[in-house]
């Protein structure tokens, strides 16, 4: 099978890459801390490929309603990044993961809105317990890793407001997402392919600067 099959061998390979990943943590002061879950599961299309879970936020939410997002949120006092990501994953999608299901952490992404977001990579063998919280999540999507592997899935744009490139990730035929979510997904894509690519300098679109 080509691509990234949902298998023990691929899980172990990715776990090794996460363990050796030279993570860059945010060292500055003044940013609130948050964490998100990049949860790897078997794709829901019968392909046997590996996918990750991406949500559309409920439209009625006051903050970022209707936007694409990874499960996650602000860290509570005393929580580790892993604890935050797993708590939010359970609250949003009803999925309870154990700490040993976390494969590793990727680079922190500092946002224009004042957060440093830590992505947590986790592996879930059985996603049948998925039960979205309809107050927070409008829909859940399985995004296959092999669908992100091609050059057409990732584009970079320039904007007059910033010297930094704006990243866009195509997650469906007619849907693109931007940083911060797109930046973290892009770094996962690169890690899966055996590459270390930094993403903190990738820009967000102007509408996301607040």
pLDDT tens track for 108-133: 999 999 999 999 999 999 999 999 99
Give the pLDDT of residue 63. Answer: 61
Q: Between the CA of residue 151 and those of 140, 146, 189, what are the distances in Å?
A: 25, 11, 11
Give the pLDDT of residue 58. Answer: 78
Q: In whole numbers, what is the pLDDT of the chain averaged over residues?
A: 93
* Rounded Cα gap, residues 132 and 183, in angstroms: 24
What is the CB neighbour count within 10 angstroms for residue 108? 24
* Rounded Cα gap, residues 124 and 37, in angstroms: 11
Give the pLDDT of residue 199. Answer: 97
Segments of the chain with pLDDT less than 50: none
Per the CB < 8 A criterion, the answer to whether 129 and 39 are in contact is no
* Rounded Cα gap, residues 81 and 34, in angstroms: 7
Give the pLDDT of residue 200. Answer: 94
Give the full edge-to-edge strand order of the sheet including 175-178: 154-159, 162-172, 175-178
pTM of the model: 0.94
């Amino acid at each position: 099978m080509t691509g990234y099959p949902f298998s023990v061998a691929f899980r172990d390979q990715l776990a090794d890459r996460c363990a050796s990943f030279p993570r860059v943590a945010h060292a500055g002061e003044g940013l609130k801390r948050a964490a998100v879950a990049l949860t790897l599961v078997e794709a829901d299309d019968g392909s046997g490929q590996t996918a990750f879970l991406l949500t559309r936020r409920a439209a009625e939410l006051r903050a970022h309603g209707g936007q694409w997002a990874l499960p996650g949120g602000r860290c509570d006092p005393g929580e580790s990044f892993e604890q935050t990501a797993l708590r939010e994953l359970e609250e949003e999608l009803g999925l309870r993961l154990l700490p040993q299901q976390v494969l590793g952490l990727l680079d922190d992404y500092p946002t224009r809105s004042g957060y440093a977001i830590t992505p947590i990579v986790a592996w879930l063998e059985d996603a049948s317990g998925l039960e979205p919280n309809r107050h927070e999540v409008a829909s859940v999507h399985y995004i296959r890793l092999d669908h992100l592997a091609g050059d057409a899935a990732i584009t970079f744009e320039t904007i007059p407001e910033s010297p930094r490139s704006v990243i866009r990730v195509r997650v469906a035929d007619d849907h693109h997402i931007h940083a911060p979510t797109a930046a973290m997904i892009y770094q996962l894509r690169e890690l899966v392919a055996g590459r270390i690519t930094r993403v903190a300098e990738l820009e967000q679109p102007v509408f996301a600067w607040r």
